Structure 1
Amino acid sequence: MFKKLINSACLFVFFTFAAYAQLPDFTQMVKNNGDAVVNISTTQKAPDMQMDSDQQPMPQDVPPELEEFFRHFFQGPGRGFVPRETNSLGSGFVISKDGYILTNHHVVNNATEIVVKLKDRRELLAKLIGSDESTDVALLKVDANELPVVEIGSPDQLQVGEWVLAIGTPFGFEQSVTAGIVSAKGRSLPDGNYVPFIQTDVAINPGNSGGPLFNMQGKVVGINSQIYSRSGGYMGLSFAIPIDVAMNVAEQIKSKGKVSRGWLGVQIQDVTRQLAESFGMDRPHGALVAKVIPGGPAEKAGVQIGDIIVEFDGRVIETSGELPPIVGMTPVDETAKLKVIRQGDREELTVKVGLLPAQAAQITPASGNMPETTVNRLGLAVADLTEEQRQQLQVEKNGVLVQKVGKGIALDAGMQPGDVILRVQNTPIRDVAEFNKIVAKLPTDKSIAMLIQRNGSPVFLAFKIEK
């Protein structure tokens, strides 16, 4: 019995030591790179406060936690306006010995003063060289030489499951170190169309923004940018901008003073299982072209509505979110090869990448009192478009307006009143009569793709008519 206890204890110690031996040691990495990570504090003009002319101004140097109390005591309700300033904190890192620093756009946006604090306690005024809201990257410059710098790594070589480390200033706690693993790569977020985010479970909180994400070789692979949270604090989902995207933006800002992005001139969406079936694909993948901008690079290259882009310049496109960052980082006027699936066949096209124009404002569809048609087998009541509606909805030709969506197939597919039906499978819809004829002949137990336009944007929906 005693021998069994001894053996069990030995095994426990052995496996504990083995498990410990496999855990990474970040101490040397922090020593090598901590000096290049900086704390960024900004002063920003906030909305003016009302104050009576006979009221006293609030005292200077009031602690943030007591500001509301003093404001109420000294100012109270009244008339007139007193300009106020607010302070915010963030992080950044030095990328050149002569003082260039990377951080987030949202850290320094609208700042009237930017102060960079180094690890050796020096505080330097920084100049904003430029920033890019689309990628959330900003480039700063301080007047200093021989600063410690980080080493730039390659996000492409980063593996899901690999250990990564962040250094930053969460909640003002300088030089805080947190670690975790890469949860996913190439994440597409609603406010970051041109960034294939690196998702990690590294603890990131307010103040970490703009700080570096290191791989196990001590090289920067990303800029910590945002978190997914329902509470405002860390919940295990953190997102970093790949460093190659950030460096590309920084170089453009330094050399040209602005950021230019490549443009195809298409609107795309993901391919669902039902859409893949309707287009004759063996599995969902690629970026489905829902609209081709007239006169754009894609139209000139021969891209058509309903094409599915599965490869761009040798890079495989699995989801629609992967395409915009790749195209955006492609130099303007460069030629690229497109591989598309068109009606079940693969084709190769050559496109000359254009310059991304300014975003056009979306037009809200106008409501009209149109006569309704008879509800068809999809549960839809549709009507022809007037010329006025075509102009407001930006529909040059073809299309019918959905007026009612009854219970049934179309409702289940996501159809809404106000949608404009442009195509069913590959057949353009000219008017109500043609639409009803096509619907009457649709096959059962087969996925059907329907192209609609909603709030100015085209989108494919898929449905299946059961027997």
Structure 2
Amino acid sequence: MFKRLWLLFAQAVTILLAALFIVVTLKPNWLSDESVGSIVSNVTLKEGVAEGDTLSPGSYHDAVKKSAPAVVNIFSSKNSTKPKARKGGKPNSSDPLFKFFFGEQPPDEEPSSSLGSGVLVSPEGIILTNHHVISDATDIDVALSDGRKVKAKMIGSDPETDIAVLKIEAKQLPPPITFARIESVHVGDVVLAIGNPFGVGQTVTSGIVSALGRDHVGINTFENFIQTDAAINPGNSGGALIDTRGNLIGINTAIYSNNGGSMGIGFAIPVNLAKQVMESIINNGGVTRGWIGVEPQNLSEELAESLGIAKQSQGVLLSGVLEGGPADRAGIRPGDVLTGVNGQSIRDVRALLSKVSELKPGTEATFSLLRKNKELVLKVLIGKRPKPKFSHE
């Protein structure tokens, strides 16, 4: 009798557990006195509360807010002409390695318009941009940060540093950007690039200063670039590179790229050079540089040995001298090794070019040379550097 009752009890419990499992699985609300709606309504979500206008930690909003209104979009129309190769061994915008931050068109089409950026630097409507943005332009339009579009007039440009100066006439212009001191810029500093990449609209990207004084890049005649890994793409040409205080430290110019997009190596013209060129264009209508009329080449150890001079000798071999030019009139001859200018040693062609360009035309300068292993000092009357024949087309 006891075994029978126990069997009935076990069967009843099994049936009840099976029924409970089915209810829990298929109809769980039968076991609760609250509906789904009442459960959701009782959930409390915790939201972060901003303390006034406090920014997120590490935000660069203030820097962007200060400088972004001064960055403009530039649209330039050009006559349809076949693209010309740059002279002097300089790469052009179709070079697979160097791309100007420019709206590019398919290589089989003739360019008729260009897209770039610029920076408003004065209340009078002066705008800094790149020479290659407005090169050979027949019509230049500027889109301001508030949406207005105005015509721009070109004041002048300098192809050898890729700087151009424009002027617009408009009321209630945005506040101009403030210039940083180049001495305050260091490798490792956080920087922001502002421009109009691919024509999508004003865009801000961040990175660091990767290097300073970058030359021998082969983009411009006179190079002293700030290198950055801030993402910069076609359309950013002439845009602003700023520090975290919102001050201008450079004008974005070109990138190293195999595909036309950002690869983390971008170049900007430092603010001190851009300012110097801008002031010269505004005050004198252009940039005047010294010139002596020589064809220099770097002095390698092998070349020094072939000339019969010490391998460790520093200087620049003058492989050619322009007949009737300043150097020729002073007695400098092909084959001379130029070692110094006004007491300052010259190590390579870039240093010679930079030093001579700083000399004022019409003044005399002292040049130190080696001729057949004999030291020679000559006075040269500095001439005016001719205008370049190449452009950034």
TM-score, length basis structure 1:
0.57
State the Cα deviation string for residues 38-94 of structure 1 (Å, max 9, x = none): 12122334369xxxxxxxxxxxxxxxxxxx9xxxxxxxxxxxxxxx99443211111
Give the structure 2 partner of residue 151 of structure 1: 178
SS of the equivalent of 2:215 reads: strand
What displacement does 1:324 show?
A: 1.9
Instruction: Check conservation: 1:124, 1:142, Cα contact below 8 A.
Output: yes
Given candidates 222, 227, 233, the residue that maps to 2:255 is 227
Cα-Cα RMSD: 3.4
Give the structure 2 partner of residue 169 of structure 1: 196
Which has more strand, going by share of residues?
A: 1
1:266 aligns with 2:300: no
Instruction: Check conservation: 2:190, 2:206, Cα contact below 8 A.
Output: no
What displacement does 1:161 show?
A: 4.7
Task: Tell me the amino acid that sits aligned with residue 140 of structure 1.
Answer: L
**Cα separation, partners in 2 of 1:24 and 1:336, compared to 1, 3 Å:** farther
**Cα separation, partners in 2 of 1:116 and 1:188, compared to 1, 3 Å:** same
Given candidates 31, 35, 39, the residue that maps to 2:73 is 39
SS of the equivalent of 1:328 reads: helix
Question: 1: CA distance between counterparts of 2:312 and 2:152?
Answer: 51
1:246 aligns with 2:274: yes
Task: Tell me the amino acid that sits aligned with residue 140 of structure 2.
Answer: I
Give the structure 2 partner of residue 141 of structure 1: 167
Given candidates 286, 298, 302, the residue that maps to 2:327 is 298
Give the structure 2 partner of residue 333 of structure 1: 362
What displacement does 1:134 show?
A: 2.8
TM-score, length basis structure 2:
0.66
Q: Higher Cα Rg: structure 1 or 2?
A: 2
Instruction: Check conservation: 1:170, 1:176, Cα contact below 8 A.
Output: no
Given candidates 336, 347, 361, the residue that maps to 1:318 is 347
SS of the equivalent of 1:46 reads: coil
**Cα separation, partners in 2 of 1:281 and 1:39, compared to 1, 3 Å:** farther
SS of the equivalent of 2:67 reads: helix
Given candidates 312, 315, 325, the residue that maps to 1:286 is 315
Question: 2: CA distance between counterparts of 1:158 and 1:340?
Answer: 37
Question: 2: CA distance between counterparts of 1:273 and 1:24?
Answer: 50
Matches within 5 A, 1:4-23: none
Task: Tell me the amino acid that sits aligned with residue 225 of structure 1.
Answer: T
SS of the equivalent of 1:98 reads: coil
What displacement does 1:210 show?
A: 0.7
Give the structure 2 partner of residue 428 of structure 1: none
**Cα separation, partners in 2 of 1:312 and 1:167, compared to 1, 3 Å:** farther
**Cα separation, partners in 2 of 1:186 and 1:174, compared to 1, 3 Å:** same
State the Cα deviation string for residues 262-292 of structure 1 (Å, max 9, x = none): 2121111112232244553453643322112
**Cα separation, partners in 2 of 1:287 and 1:98, compared to 1, 3 Å:** same
Task: Tell me the amino acid that sits aligned with residue 132 of structure 2.
Answer: H
Instruction: Check conservation: 2:130, 2:164, Cα contact below 8 A.
Output: yes
Give the structure 2 partner of residue 92 of structure 1: 118
1:113 aligns with 2:113: no
Instruction: Check conservation: 1:213, 1:223, Cα contact below 8 A.
Output: yes
Task: Tell me the amino acid that sits aligned with residue 194 of structure 2.
Answer: I
State the Cα deviation string for residues 212-251 of structure 1 (Å, max 9, x = none): 2235665433321112222122223322223343333323
Question: 1: CA distance between counterparts of 2:244 and 2:305?
Answer: 43
**Cα separation, partners in 2 of 1:217 and 1:294, compared to 1, 3 Å:** farther
Instruction: Check conservation: 2:207, 2:228, Cα contact below 8 A.
Output: no
Greater relative CO, 1 or 2 (CA 8 Å, sep 6+): 2
**Cα separation, partners in 2 of 1:258 and 1:230, compared to 1, 3 Å:** same
What displacement does 1:313 show?
A: 4.3
Instruction: Check conservation: 1:164, 1:202, Cα contact below 8 A.
Output: yes
Instruction: Check conservation: 1:201, 1:237, Cα contact below 8 A.
Output: yes
Matches within 5 A, 1:73-84: none
Given candidates 357, 361, 381, the residue that maps to 2:386 is 357
Task: Tell me the amino acid that sits aligned with residue 168 of structure 1.
Answer: G
Question: 1: CA distance between counterparts of 2:367 and 2:81?
Answer: 49
Give the structure 2 partner of residue 197 of structure 1: 225
Instruction: Check conservation: 1:270, 1:286, Cα contact below 8 A.
Output: yes
What displacement does 1:127 show?
A: 1.3
Question: 1: CA distance between counterparts of 2:112 and 2:190?
Answer: 36
Q: Which structure 2 residue ranges, 5 or more long, are not aligned?
A: 1-56, 83-105
Identity of aligned residues (%): 39
Instruction: Check conservation: 1:196, 1:322, Cα contact below 8 A.
Output: no
Give the structure 2 partner of residue 29 of structure 1: 63
Task: Tell me the amino acid that sits aligned with residue 128 of structure 1.
Answer: M
SS of the equivalent of 2:211 reads: strand
SS of the equivalent of 1:195 reads: coil
What displacement does 1:327 show?
A: 2.4
Instruction: Check conservation: 1:40, 1:90, Cα contact below 8 A.
Output: yes
